[in-house]
Structure 1
């Protein structure tokens, strides 16, 4: 195994460790510790999407034109970790929203940068990212799982300390520690990646501002791809937002104690499906792979809908977690690889940023805010209880509609070596 591959594995592990430490339990923290309602939580969880509306594309442009990608990546993680450590001090949901939004402005662009750094270093060694990147990216999911297990175990082993005051936000502190370690690792271990794509002497305003990646929208197939990235992005974070709170609410001792560990089965499934992506992409092409993702999302939500405290209800929870691997990976990872193979080197960072903006930005904001208010208005009882089956069935119907529309409207023939030439 090459030294570069080992470094990228560690970078991916820590990149998603710092996210998994707190994201899956944010709903439990908001509802159980702070006692905020679903609308307030929906707004707070949407900070990831709001930040993704502009920061991935913005920092992708900065990395393409002015600052070394590895330096920018490390600096953003340092700022993210410091901001994350402030969250446990806050009790007002709107102040929490503002600080969380700042933290997300630092973190969300690092996901796209993580991809583009990996692609660049692999290309330097003469490797095909479609083949070489998925086995590296899988370690990011392993990092996410490790963080979830550590968070759940800390809650079980030292419950008295971590139920009140500043330390009730222990998951944010675990994320802070990981972010600082990743920042140091990046500054010291990741090879320098200079902004070599800067266009010298160009008089075009688009070139001067680094907005060439938005030229992708001139291609009708890419435009449709990005539109459906928004529509499916609206569903991506819903089980992340509500999954832990839902599983904790199931009237069964196992689900109450081990909700986060149970939810981590989703990420275990990811590690397996990531490794199958090269095969599925080469065999079926991006359209069929994304269709598989959309139908998997429908199944993911539907299985949660039939879940409950019975034996078969618990089986449905685990089945839903297994399906999640296909639902998430076949869209997120395959989509990133599709954007990589469809664009030139000069816009590698900013193109990944645009994809992230469509999915975790526009789509996630619309999905989280709309879901939060819909749950409050239509699925919350007078005593504050949530009608979980109706919530999940509604999400399943939405995923089915998106899949059918995508099947009809996305006209793309799989051509792995094709590159879009953008002036």
Structure 2
């Protein structure tokens, strides 16, 4: 389950920017909106489905249905020919997929609890297979030459169909048997998980999770297209970063597999506050190293940034899920996980996707009206044939006088990543000051 849960996401999540900007040549503001569909769907779907799983329907059956519908929507997505329709179809796909993130956690925790396992020790080695699945999907799409084609959606859709059928064989996760006659209206409607906001520590944890969720969307949305745009620099044209950008990005997920397995050690010895702080500082490093990296002399920075990503993602996402699970009771297990997803992949994703798309277009995008101005920016010869070839590959025709049929737009990645690094640094400082948590260290 874990393997294919993330395989069906990894097949397109990192490479959709190449499909959007390269194959379709749609603009960046619209792309930010499409990436925000994950957040919009997460505002209500994980919590809603979590409530249904806690109250009325087996979690594994809901999980199966959602994946079957997600797969069907992905198969239709390549038929879309305009960005506005693409947005609505992707939103529908995300309404089906995003709840499965929380449901898969709930199914795992139910099975482990029923088997009397230590969740902190037992869950990470299971969840690590999700990262392996994500890596496998990225490599498959890149090595088959489909990172900018519609086939990435077909691959994800077919795998999602298979997972939907397989889910019917998962351990049964029935709703909790509760005496409904003695319940309050909030309990009857399955909204008890929202009472977690009455707890100052939990409320603060959810708020900071929202801001970190925004940081996660930044790297998902722009990481691969950042590496891909080095192709406009003739001096980097033969670099492995250009030829295999998605595989380079997969180092991030390979790093995840190691840090996931380290979570039990860090959580038991240092507690959730220090682990979350480590995650935030890792995000600062992630973005800062990207800001100064390049495919030749700065390649080590790009690789190190990908390695650091493992700590940034796992120590926030996986540890946060475990913290929510161990801080709540089994009666609200699915809805509490849905609430966590709502804050991170919901409000956080909307904040990160829409705001970053607007900020990048408004302040960090450079327009070049002719080949001379572009050549100067790229520090290359105006008459360099490879530069003209690269421009034409992008689908922009060149007039005889060297001007373009329309401005060519490049993003100022150096300052984009520095801005993102500053954003996460501020979050880390505020979290250290305001989040209070007493941890009883466990040494065995």
TM-score normalized with structure 1 length = 0.92
In the aligned structure 1, how far is the partner of 2:309 from the partner of 2:258? 11
Show the counterpart of 1:128. Answer: 118
Show the counterpart of 2:390. Answer: none
Show the counterpart of 2:307. Answer: 322
Show the counterpart of 2:164. Answer: 183
Name which of 411, 415, 433 aligns with 1:390.
415
Show the counterpart of 1:74. Answer: 64
Matched, 1:371 2:396: no
Matched, 1:137 2:127: yes
Matched, 1:34 2:20: no
SS in 1 for 2:180: coil
Show the counterpart of 2:8. Answer: 18
1:63-102 matches, within 5 Å, as 63-102=53-92
Pair 1:75–1:129, CA change in 2 (3 A): same
Show the counterpart of 2:209. Answer: 229
Show the counterpart of 2:249. Answer: 263
Show the counterpart of 2:229. Answer: 249
In the aligned structure 2, how far is the partner of 1:98 from the partner of 1:152? 26
1:343-358 matches, within 5 Å, as 343-358=328-343
Show the counterpart of 2:401. Answer: none
- Give CA deviations for 1:319-363 in whole Å, capped at 9, x if unaligned: 100000000000000000000000001000000000000000001
Pair 1:374–1:69, CA change in 2 (3 A): same
In the aligned structure 2, how far is the partner of 1:197 from the partner of 1:210? 13
Deviation of 1:310 (Å): 2.4
Count residues with an aligned counterpart: 396
Name which of 175, 178, 199 aligns with 1:195.
175
Q: Is the 8 A contact 2:17 2:225 kept in 1?
A: yes
Q: Which structure has the bigger radius of gyration? A: 2
In the aligned structure 2, how far is the partner of 1:221 from the partner of 1:249? 42
Name which of 394, 404, 422 aligns with 2:429.
404
1:90-169 matches, within 5 Å, as 90-155=80-145, 168-169=149-150
Runs of 4 or more above 3 Å deviation: none
In the aligned structure 2, how far is the partner of 1:48 from the partner of 1:335? 19
Show the counterpart of 1:52. Answer: 42
- Give CA deviations for 1:161-205 in whole Å, capped at 9, x if unaligned: x97xxxx31100000011011011111x20221112545214421
Q: Is the 8 A contact 2:270 2:441 kept in 1?
A: no
The alignment yields a C-alpha RMSD, in angstroms, of: 1.3
Q: Is the 8 A contact 2:4 2:159 kept in 1?
A: yes
- Give CA deviations for 1:374-398 in whole Å, capped at 9, x if unaligned: 0000001123110000100000000
Deviation of 1:245 (Å): 0.4
Matched, 1:287 2:273: yes
Pair 1:197–1:377, CA change in 2 (3 A): farther
Deviation of 1:108 (Å): 0.3
191-200 or 114-123: bigger deviation: 191-200
SS in 2 for 1:309: coil
Deviation of 1:236 (Å): 0.9
SS in 1 for 2:366: coil
In the aligned structure 2, how far is the partner of 1:198 from the partner of 1:153? 51
Q: Is the 8 A contact 2:278 2:312 kept in 1?
A: yes
TM-score normalized with structure 2 length = 0.87
